[in-house]
C-alpha cells in the first residue's frame, strides 16, 4: 500500500499560469510532466493514470491560493471546490487537502476551512507562509490554528526552499513553527520537504513537538542515499510515526522507486535497514492516520506491465 501525501492538482492556464509553472519547475528539467502530457485527460484522470503507473493507491491532492502576492491579484489559484471534481473521477483514490491564504481574510479563511471539512469531507489543510508572504508566528493566525485544532485536522505547511522567485526565504525556516507548537501543542503539523535545506532545524522542532511530522516531497531530487539517511535519522531520533511519504508532482515516479530501494541502500552503506513495519508507517500508515483515510485494498491497477 502507498499513500502519497503531497500532490498538487490543478489545470494549466486555468489554475496555474504557464509562466509560473515554468519558473517553479525549471530546476527540475523545466517541465511539469503530466500537466503538459496527455492533454485530453482531465486532471483526475491524469493523476489516476499516474498512480497506476507507479503503484500508488491514494493521493492526497492539494490546492493553493497565491493571488494576493502578485500584481492585480493574478497569481495562481486553485479553488478548494475543484478538488471535488477531481475526486469524483475515482473517489477511493483521492484524499483532499484544502488551502487558504489566511491574510486575504482571516475570518473568511476560518469559515472556508469549516465549510470544506464539514460539508465536503476534506481531510487536511495546507498553508504556504513563504508563497503567501506571511510569518506563521503571527498571532492574527490564531483563529485559523484554533479551527484546525477544533476540527482535528492536520495542517500541512510548506517549509524550506522553492524555486519560486516571489517566495521570500525568510518565511521558509522550520524554527518559525516552534511558536505555533508552543501555542497549539495539539495542532497536528506536517512540515513539507523536511524544510530543506534547514533539515537540522526541522529535525529539532519535530523532535520537540509531539504532533509535528514531516513529508519528503521533492526529495526524489536528492537521490536514495541522502534520503534514506535522513529518513533513518529522523525515524531513529523522533520515532517512525512522524514521517510521511510524499512525492511532489514532478518527482512522483522517482520518489516511489527510491523509497522502495531503501533495503539495497542500507546494504550498500552497511547499516541496519529500516524495518518493514516502519517502512509501512512511512509509506501509508502515518498519512492514513493523520488524514483519516481508510484505504481500500485493490483499488490500483497492477501497474507497469499493463499501463506502460
Ligand atoms: Zn508541493
pLDDT digits (tens, 9 = 90+) for 187-227: 999 999 999 999 999 999 999 999 999 999 999 989 999 99
**Model confidence at 238: pLDDT above 90:** yes
**Model confidence at 38: pLDDT above 90:** no
Region 295-307: what's the mean pLDDT? 66
Please give the distance, rounded to the nearest whole angstrom, from the Cα atom of residue 218 to the centre of ligand 1. 8
Residues with CB under 5 A from ligand 1 (ion): 248
Please give the distance, rounded to the nearest whole angstrom, from the Cα atom of residue 270 to the centre of ligand 1. 33
pLDDT-wise least confident of 45-54, 114-123, 128-137, 187-196: 45-54
Q: Distances in Å between the alpha carbon of 225 and those of 89, 118, 196, 219, 266? A: 36, 42, 16, 11, 9
Residue 29, judged by CB atoms within 10 A of its CB (0-12, 13-18, 19+), counts as exposed
Region 39-46: what's the mean pLDDT? 88
> Which pLDDT score is estimated for 297?
81
> Which pLDDT score is estimated for 31?
52
State the CATH class of domain 3-307.
Answer: alpha beta
> Which pLDDT score is estimated for 2?
97
Residue 261, judged by CB atoms within 10 A of its CB (0-12, 13-18, 19+), counts as middle
Please give the distance, rounded to the nearest whole angstrom, from the Cα atom of residue 267 to the centre of ligand 1. 31
Question: 97 forms bridges with which residues in the sheet?
Answer: 62, 124
> Which pLDDT score is estimated for 29?
63
Q: Could you tell me which of 176, 96, 165 has the C-alpha nearest to residue 129?
A: 176
* Distance, CA of 36 to CA of 77 (rounded, Å): 18
Please give the distance, rounded to the nearest whole angstrom, from the Cα atom of residue 273 to the centre of ligand 1. 28
Please give the distance, rounded to the nearest whole angstrom, from the Cα atom of residue 128 to the centre of ligand 1. 10
Amino acid at each position: 500500500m502507498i499513500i502519497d501525501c503531497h500532490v498538487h492538482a490543478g489545470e494549466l492556464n486555468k489554475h496555474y499560469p504557464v509562466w509560473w509553472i515554468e519558473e517553479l519547475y525549471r530546476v527540475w528539467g523545466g517541465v511539469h510532466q503530466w500537466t503538459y502530457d496527455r492533454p485530453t485527460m482531465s486532471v483526475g484522470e491524469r493523476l489516476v493514470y499516474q498512480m497506476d503507473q507507479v503503484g500508488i493507491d491514494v493521493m492526497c491532492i492539494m490546492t493553493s491560493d497565491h493571488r494576493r502576492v502578485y500584481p492585480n491579484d493574478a497569481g495562481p489559484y486553485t479553488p478548494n471546490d475543484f478538488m471535488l471534481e477531481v475526486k469524483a473521477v475515482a473517489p477511493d483514490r483521492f484524499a483532499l487537502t484544502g488551502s487558504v491564504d489566511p491574510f486575504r481574510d482571516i475570518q473568511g479563511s476560518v469559515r472556508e476551512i469549516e465549510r470544506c471539512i464539514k460539508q465536503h469531507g476534506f481531510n487536511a489543510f495546507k498553508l504556504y507562509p513563504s508563497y503567501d508572504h506571511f510569518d506563521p508566528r503571527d498571532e492574527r493566525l490564531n483563529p485559523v490554528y484554533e479551527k484546525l485544532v477544533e476540527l482535528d485536522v492536520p495542517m500541512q505547511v510548506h517549509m524550506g526552499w522553492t524555486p519560486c522567485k516571489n517566495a521570500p526565504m525568510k518565511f521558509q525556516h522550520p524554527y518559525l513553527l516552534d511558536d505555533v507548537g508552543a501555542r497549539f501543542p495539539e495542532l497536528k503539523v506536517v512540515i513539507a520537504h523536511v524544510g530543506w535545506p534547514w533539515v537540522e532545524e526541522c529535525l529539532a522542532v519535530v523532535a520537540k513537538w509531539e504532533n509535528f511530522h514531516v513529508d519528503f516531497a521533492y526529495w526524489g531530487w536528492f537521490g536514495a542515499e541522502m534520503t534514506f539517511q535522513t529518513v533513518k535519522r529522523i525515524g531513529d531520533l523522533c520515532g517512525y510515526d512522524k514521517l510521511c511519504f510524499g512525492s511532489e508532482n514532478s518527482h512522483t515516479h522517482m520518489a516511489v522507486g527510491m523509497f522502495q530501494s531503501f533495503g539495497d541502500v542500507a546494504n550498500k552503506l552497511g547499516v541496519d535497514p529500516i524495518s518493514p513495519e516502519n517502512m509501512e508507517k512511512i509509506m501509508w500508515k502515518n498519512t492514513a492516520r493523520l488524514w483519516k483515510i481508510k484505504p481500500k485494498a485493490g483499488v490500483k491497477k497492477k501497474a507497469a506491465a499493463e499501463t506502460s
